[in-house]
Amino acid sequence: MYDVMVIGAGPAGCITAKKMTDAGYNVLLVEKMKIPREKSCSGILIKKSINIIENEFGKIPDSILCKPNISRGIIITNEKNQSFKFESDSLNVWRSLLDKWLAFKAKNAGAELRQLTSAISCEEKHDHVSVKLHDGEIYEEKARIIVACDGAGSIIKKKLFKNPNNYIFTYQTFCKGTINLDHNFFHAFLHRSLSQYDAWFNVKDDFLIFGVGIKEPSTMKMYHSKFLSFLNSQFNAQIESYVKEEIGMMPNVMPGCPVNLGMGRILFTGEAANFLNPIGEGISSALASGYAAAEAIKSLYKNNNFNTKFLMNTYKDNILAEKQYMTRQWAILSTISSKFSNMK
């Protein structure tokens, strides 16, 4: 019987596993992919993410950074072609390397890390949760508490709540070429003709990355090609070659930013709980929610009374500031673009 089982070794899962292990609990961290695994992401670590990571895991190594190492901020252009520049230094990292570093920090602290192991379902019993795992064979493990950190497509949440899916799909291409946009900024475009959410440009090492967020997967290439034509006409984008393409997903966060923190002994964190900030910044809230969940579980153990209402209420209290931060961020974005204030 584990004290805690953490499902998914992204930022939310790694911080939960690391904190619980540091506090002396017996932790199993399962990850369905082989680490380092690819995660479609722009890899911009804002100050808030850097602070949480450096407090909990130590100094971020230079080896996970890409060029330009520092992203100077974000420039958002709305549907009326008005641009808003938000300057704040962030780190530009490769997600596969960041998440590998986080996962091995948790492992080296003492968490048991099982890669290539998918959680299939959770069943809550009287004093524990029984989890079906798949690593080629199906077997069961037990833990007193489960933290589902399995990302936007969380299978655990789908099985527990049976809600209809509500995602934004992302499509981005890594290209070689040139463009007259400042490589030191992340550029987001909110024109309705260019995406069903946002369209973006950023640079990682030698790659120019062009992405679009859409609701209907069948439209992704159409919007992407419109976006490239727009960048060609406005900023003289010249693509010499396409090196790779990536499809990803994130929660379609609605005004009011509803989150789902879980049920009984099963907590959700990160994108599995619906945490995401505007223009797809989610690493900071994944870390903050993982941190809050771990603190709630520690309080539960200290209390020595497995009251799941107490667990959920403590997690809810711990995460309140993060929820308010997310709501404020969305409010700011809705003053820039009607697309976000009217989002359906």
Ligand X SMILES: Cc1cc2nc3c(=O)[nH]c(=O)nc-3n(C[C@H](O)[C@H](O)[C@H](O)COP(=O)(O)OP(=O)(O)OC[C@H]3O[C@@H](n4cnc5c(N)ncnc54)[C@H](O)[C@@H]3O)c2cc1C
Report the distance separating Cα 16 and Cα 18, nearest Å: 6
DSSP-derived 3-state class of residue 262: strand
Under the binding rule (CB under 6 A), the answer on residue 262 touching ligand X is no
Name which position in 52, 65, 286, 300 contacts ligand X (CB under 6 A): 286
Under the binding rule (CB under 6 A), the answer on residue 198 touching ligand X is no
Selected range binding ligand X among 28-36, 291-299, 312-320, 334-342, rule: CB under 6 A: 28-36
Selected range binding ligand X among 39-47, 80-88, 221-229, 254-262, rule: CB under 6 A: 39-47
Under the binding rule (CB under 6 A), the answer on residue 231 touching ligand X is no
Choose between 12 and 145: whose C-beta lies nearer to ligand X.
Answer: 12
Choose between 143 and 286: whose C-beta lies nearer to ligand X.
Answer: 286
Closest distance to ligand X from the beta carbon of 10 (Å): 2
312: nearest Cα among 263, 276, 273, 256: 263
Report the distance separating Cα 143 and Cα 295, nearest Å: 17
Q: 24: how many CB neighbours lie within 10 A of its CB?
A: 11
85: nearest Cα among 65, 71, 70: 71
Report the distance separating Cα 27 and Cα 169, nearest Å: 32
Selected range binding ligand X among 79-87, 124-132, 224-232, 283-291, rule: CB under 6 A: 283-291
Q: Specify whether the CB–CB gap between 13 and 154 falls below 8 A.
A: no
Closest distance to ligand X from the beta carbon of 305 (Å): 29
Determine the size of the site formed for ligand X (CB under 6 A).
Answer: 39
Choose between 47 and 80: whose C-beta lies nearer to ligand X.
Answer: 47
C-alpha separations of 188 from 79, 157, 273 in Å:
11, 30, 25
Choose between 248 and 262: whose C-beta lies nearer to ligand X.
Answer: 248
The type of residue at 223 is Y
3-state secondary structure 103-150: HHHHHHHCCEEECCCEEEEEEECCCCEEEEEECCCEEEEEEEEEEECC
Under the binding rule (CB under 6 A), the answer on residue 248 touching ligand X is yes
Closest distance to ligand X from the beta carbon of 307 (Å): 26
Choose between 25 and 174: whose C-beta lies nearer to ligand X.
Answer: 174
User: Tokens at residue 6, please?
Assistant: 């953490």
Site string for ligand X, 210-229 (x = CB under 6 A): -x------------------
Under the binding rule (CB under 6 A), the answer on residue 283 touching ligand X is yes
Choose between 48 and 339: whose C-beta lies nearer to ligand X.
Answer: 48
Q: What DSSP string runs through 157-178?
A: HHHHH-PPP-EEEEEEEEEEEE
Residue 68 parent element (H or E)? strand 65-77
Under the binding rule (CB under 6 A), the answer on residue 33 touching ligand X is yes
Under the binding rule (CB under 6 A), the answer on residue 276 touching ligand X is yes
Under the binding rule (CB under 6 A), the answer on residue 282 touching ligand X is yes
C-alpha separations of 304 from 124, 221, 267, 287, 301 in Å:
19, 54, 18, 26, 5
Name which position in 32, 48, 323, 339 contacts ligand X (CB under 6 A): 32
Selected range binding ligand X among 188-196, 282-290, 315-323, 332-340, rule: CB under 6 A: 282-290
List residues binding ligand X (CB under 6 A). 7-13, 30-33, 37, 39-44, 118-119, 149-151, 155, 170, 172, 211, 248, 250, 270-272, 276, 280-284, 286
